[in-house]
Amino acid sequence: MRRLDNQVALVTGGARGIGKEIALALAGLGAKLAVNYNRSAEAADALAEQIKQLGSECLAVQADVSRSDQARGLVGTVIEHYGRLDVLVNNAGITRDKSLKSLTDEDWEAVIHTNLNSVFYTTSAVCPKMMEQGHGRIINISSFVGQSGNFGQSNYAASKGGMIAFTKSAALELAKYNITVNAVAPGFTSTEMLAMVPEAIQEKLLAKIPLRRFGEPKEIAQAVVFLASEGGYITGQQININGGIYM
């Protein structure tokens, strides 16, 4: 894959799980990294150290991306530090799984603010710089449930479906500036998010996956790196990496 030397990449929620593997894979191609975290300060510091040992630069930045001021401040901090921003990966996400009869306004809002509103905040904040550069790659980590829906995940599925619609609309608006906007939609992937699902339910999920295993964070990261590196003519698309659970 084409190297990303001299390019700067920001991964939201990048200290652990899928985001961590994305950050490592981008650094492996030579990109300078900014890793955002909200609560995982120690993990973010450890990752920054690991990336520096790989020979790349890394800045760890605390911000709660569900808040407009903090998400926009995050983008500003990265641009101020590196002078540019080429790759934005909107990865931060949460679940609050409940069936509709017990889902509260707070459950709904927390998921929509974190998973969807954050994508608008960071994307709109990064646009002026990417337009000025005449180059940008925005990659949104969605989910297959944004297309299929899922029992007990009306808030999460709505946030991920919203991300897909946002991705296509932003791709249309930003194409003339050579900014591509795409989504990567994982299926069930082995991280702490999946570990929160009770084991009995995990067994049932496995049985529904044609490839009969959960995805690995590295498999998601490879698609992100492909879009960042070789995806110059791909925009407004969604890459599904889900073991065949949704086709």
Positions annotated as catalytic residues are: 156
Closest approach, Cβ 17 to ligand NDP, in A, equals: 2
246 is in an annotated binding site: no
Closest approach, Cβ 11 to ligand NDP, in A, equals: 9
159 is in an annotated binding site: yes
155 is in an annotated binding site: no
- Angle formed by the axes of helices 68-82 and 118-133, nearest 10°: 30
Output 17 or 231, the one with its CB closest to ligand NDP: 17
Q: Give the length of the chain.
A: 247
Cross-strand partners of 180: 137
Sign of CA dihedral 246, 229, 232, 235: positive
* CA 17 – CA 246 distance, rounded (Å): 22
- 180 and 227 Cβ atoms separated by less than 8 Å: yes
Q: Given the rule CB under 6 A, which residues bind ligand NDP?
A: 12-13, 15-19, 36-40, 64-66, 91-94, 114, 141, 143, 186, 188-189, 191-194
154 is in an annotated binding site: no
Closest approach, Cβ 3 to ligand NDP, in A, equals: 25
Output 7 or 115, the one with its CB closest to ligand NDP: 115
Count of alpha carbons within 13 Å of 35, Cβ hemisphere only? 34
Residues at the annotated binding site for NADP(+)? 13-16, 91, 156-160
